Chains A and B, each alone.
Chain A
Amino acid sequence: MDTATAAPRVDYLENGHTWQSWLLTRDHKRIALLYLFGVTFFFAVGGLFALMVRLELLTPLGDLFEAETYNKLFTMHGVAMVFFFLIPAVPAVLGNFLVPIMIGAKDLAFPRVNLLSWYVYMVGGLFTMGAVILGGVDTGWTFYTPYSTAASNTHVIMTGLGVFISGFSSILTGFNFIVTIHKMRAPGMTWFRLPLFIWAHYATALIMILGTPVVAIAIVLVALERTLHIGIFDPTLGGDPVLYQHLFWFYSHPAVYVMVLPAMGVISELIAAGARKEIFGYKFVAFSSLGIALIGFFVWGHHMYVSSQSIFAGLIFSVLTYLVAVPSAVKVFNWTATLYKGSISYDAPMIYAFGFLGLFLIGGLTGLFLGAMGLDVHVHDTYFVVAHFHYVMVGGTIMAYLGGLHYWWPKISGRLYPEGWARFAALVIFVGFNLTFFPQFLLGYMGMPRRYHMYPEEWQVLNVLSTAGASILGTGYLLPMIYFTWSWRKGPKATANPWGATGLEWTIPSPPPTENFIETPIVTAPAYDYAHQEEHVA
């Protein structure tokens, strides 16, 4: 309740400069920037661990780190990247900033809950970082029992607690998105006028509220098992360690879609704006998000083909895994069809979108290899799996996240980024990514297992290529960090709509005022109405 009723409108960045005005803000745009700070930090931490992993694998001998240290490195790489970067990156940064604006609302439905979610996330992160500093954890990011309960002497509980706590931030974000999208849409913003970014975030939010509590309780039970030896996952006491795997993957497979669905939402926006066309088959793309969210809950068994699951159950999970590829393919086909006869730009966001299409395609198709039971037995727990999920997570999610960050940067910061550098960085990242992860498909197919710090000599060439690619990739990631920092202070001022794009976010000033819309907008046109927009402009 401020008194600035008649005062001239200030943008959200100018509305207070104190620490308090940031750390106690309820403005979804400022909270998005707090998250940007958080996820960038954990991305750097996770990246550092990845660097050490790749350095160790430069030579066949385990000469840089001992096996135990190496176990900790890949575990902490996975924990930091999955739980503290990939899951929150797109929804909590871009989604937080854009969901209310895109539907014509002044804020998310529960601004205080939104701020709380950031604090919960940071506290979870602190616990996990605390575990890292005290000596780390070595169970793999999956915390499989009995390894996490009986065998490991590292800081499992503290790390698990960190993951448990940060899970609530995910639940709170999802809960806020669902209520906001249902109850806060501007007049005329019907469900089928929503940008596909919103549909994707809606589907993501459903997974967040349905899946996350299950992994939360699984982690609680692991902690109880570790401290009190209650026997629930311990076969010597009559318990079942595989029950843990079921509970874990019931969340953690859908969590893959928490990571990639919002990224798909970003790609829909980038391609529509970059091709200046309406997304081909809007409703199919919208419903495919819900389809992925729904079917995604019934495929978790494909992580467990070789852990005591019956062949029959495996068959069913295999068929369902093939099914979940259908809505993903619908999206890729429709994006490609959108490009047809489009007026295509090659600005940085679009280069990331093209990168996404190619890399996600490879990541998705190799997912089908892994979903096939017979082939999976051959490549299970090899570098083939590692390469597959990095193509989806890094090639998909991070490409889209960076593309989205570039596309909405003028709106977020009110400044333009240097286009030449941005295109260059996008290409460096694409090349570096492929050089890092393509050799891993070959290594995996030849049988190199994941999670070992040494390997036979004949695999060295491919491993050296992968490490070289990782250095290029790392450099590529540093570039945007540098020029975004520069642009934040020195970049040329951006207009309200530098891309000439449709969407409510481009109708308000850059950066937006704190209340987003002075007057609640009234929506009269579908999303991506580029055909008619041209007429208005001309």
Chain B
Amino acid sequence: MPNGHADTAHHPALQHHFDNLEQQQDAATFGMWVFLVTEVLFFGGMFMAYTLYRYWYPDGWVAASHHLNVLLGAFNTAVLIGSSLTMALAVRAGQLGERRGQVLFLVLTILLGAVFLGVKVVEYADKFEHHLVPGPNFLFDDARYARPAQIFFSVYFAMTGMHALHMIIGLGLLTWLLLNAIKGRFTREWNTPVEVVGLYWHFVDIIWIFLFPLLYLVGHH
């Protein structure tokens, strides 16, 4: 072990193919960044569709966008930004090896994530009620814009649905972190999972930061 640090070269979390924990942590963090690049492109296809149809149907999209609840959207944006803060604090507690801080901030992050999804359920239910879900039952009050509005809601559901799916996966990861944090697994020497999931959570946040103005604030000046 040419670069081995005495205190980390025999850590139980060290996998056999890494020289030391630093290299392992480096690889994991870098790996998450590479994965997030993939994620950007995954959402990129939908942003492309958004751009095309908004350019084609500017008026129809303004009309459709007015059917979204800006207040709930803004509330959810605040909730997610708050969860990013608690996540960042959880990562810090991880780096300092503070078990109580980790547990507290992970619980808060999970709660905020759940609130976001809860609000999303309310919003989706409202769309179902008002026949704004694309498909045979789609009904739009302004007949001129019925077709563009349906495309708008297709893009809305595809993008926010894909985002919600990422939130659900994130909540699963956070729960797993929480269980490990309770057992005191994350120490000063080794807290890679907290950091890596933190990166993922911030990414999911940032996607929403783009989705909110693009979908909710079309035509609001």
**Chain A contacts for B31, CB-based, 8 A:** 109-110, 175-176, 179
**Contacts across chains A and B counted by CB atoms under 8 Å:** 119
Q: Cβ of B151 and Cβ of A111 under 8 Å apart?
A: no
29 contacts between A and B (CB under 8 A): A106-B16, A109-B17, A109-B27, A110-B27, A111-B17, A175-B38, A179-B34, A183-B27, A183-B30, A209-B37, A209-B41, A210-B41, A212-B38, A213-B41, A214-B41, A214-B45, A217-B42, A217-B43, A217-B44, A220-B158, A224-B158, A230-B151, A231-B151, A237-B147, A237-B150, A238-B150, A239-B151, A246-B48, A520-B19
Neighbour of B39 across the interface among A184, A211, A213, A238, CB < 8 A = A213
Contact with B along A97-138 (1 / 0, CB 8 A): 000100001111111000000000000000000000000000
Most chain A CB neighbours (cut-off 10 Å) among B46, B49, B56: B49
Chain B residues 156 to 170 lying within 8 A of chain A, measured CB to CB, are: 157-158, 162
| B23, CB-defined interface residue at 8 Å | yes
Which B positions have Cβ atoms within 8 angstroms of A?
A: 2, 15-17, 19, 23, 26-27, 30-31, 34-35, 37-39, 41-46, 48-49, 52-53, 56-57, 134-136, 147-148, 150-151, 154-155, 157-158, 162
Q: Cβ of B44 and Cβ of A232 under 8 Å apart?
A: no
Chain A residues 11 to 26 lying within 8 A of chain B, measured CB to CB, are: none
Q: Cβ of A218 and Cβ of B150 under 8 Å apart?
A: no
Q: Cβ of A243 and Cβ of B147 under 8 Å apart?
A: no
Which A positions have Cβ atoms within 8 angstroms of B?
A: 1, 100, 105-111, 171, 175-176, 178-180, 182-184, 187, 209-214, 216-218, 220-221, 224, 228-232, 237-240, 243, 246-247, 250, 515, 520
Q: Cβ of A209 and Cβ of B38 under 8 Å apart?
A: yes
Q: Cβ of A182 and Cβ of B45 under 8 Å apart?
A: no
Q: A240-B52, A247-B45 are in contact. Are A183 and B23 (CB under 8 A)?
A: yes
Q: Cβ of A231 and Cβ of B39 under 8 Å apart?
A: no
Q: How far is the CB of A165 from chain B (nearest CB, A)?
A: 14
Q: Cβ of B42 and Cβ of A216 under 8 Å apart?
A: yes
Neighbour of B42 across the interface among A187, A214, A228, A240, CB < 8 A = A214
**Chain A contacts for B154, CB-based, 8 A:** 224, 230-232
Q: Cβ of A229 and Cβ of B17 under 8 Å apart?
A: no
Q: From B43, which residue of chain A is reached at the shortest CB distance? A: A217
Q: A111-B17, A210-B37 are in contact. Are A184 and B148 (CB under 8 A)?
A: no
A184→B22 CA distance, assembly (Å) = 12
Shortest Cβ-Cβ A-B pairs, 3 listed: A213-B42, A238-B147, A217-B45
Q: A217-B45, A218-B45 are in contact. Are A179 and B27 (CB under 8 A)?
A: yes
Q: From A232, which residue of chain B is reached at the shortest CB distance? A: B154
**Chain A contacts for B147, CB-based, 8 A:** 231, 237-238
Q: Cβ of A221 and Cβ of B27 under 8 Å apart?
A: no
Neighbour of B49 across the interface among A107, A110, A213, A232, CB < 8 A = A232
Q: How far is the CB of B154 from chain A (nearest CB, A)?
A: 4
Q: Cβ of B151 and Cβ of A229 under 8 Å apart?
A: no
Q: From B39, which residue of chain A is reached at the shortest CB distance? A: A213
Q: Cβ of A238 and Cβ of B151 under 8 Å apart?
A: yes
A187→B162 CA distance, assembly (Å) = 42
Q: From B57, which residue of chain A is reached at the shortest CB distance? A: A238
Q: Cβ of B30 and Cβ of A179 under 8 Å apart?
A: yes
**Chain A contacts for B45, CB-based, 8 A:** 213-214, 217-218, 221, 247, 250
Q: A183-B27, A520-B2 are in contact. Are A229 and B19 (CB under 8 A)?
A: no
**Chain B contacts for A184, CB-based, 8 A:** 17, 23, 27
Q: How far is the CB of A26 from chain B (nearest CB, A)?
A: 9
Q: How far is the CB of A1 from chain B (nearest CB, A)?
A: 8
A180→B30 CA distance, assembly (Å) = 10
**Chain B contacts for A238, CB-based, 8 A:** 56-57, 147-148, 150-151
**Chain A contacts for B134, CB-based, 8 A:** 228-231
Q: How far is the CB of A534 from chain B (nearest CB, A)?
A: 30
A314→B19 CA distance, assembly (Å) = 51
A220→B42 CA distance, assembly (Å) = 11
Q: Cβ of A232 and Cβ of B151 under 8 Å apart?
A: yes
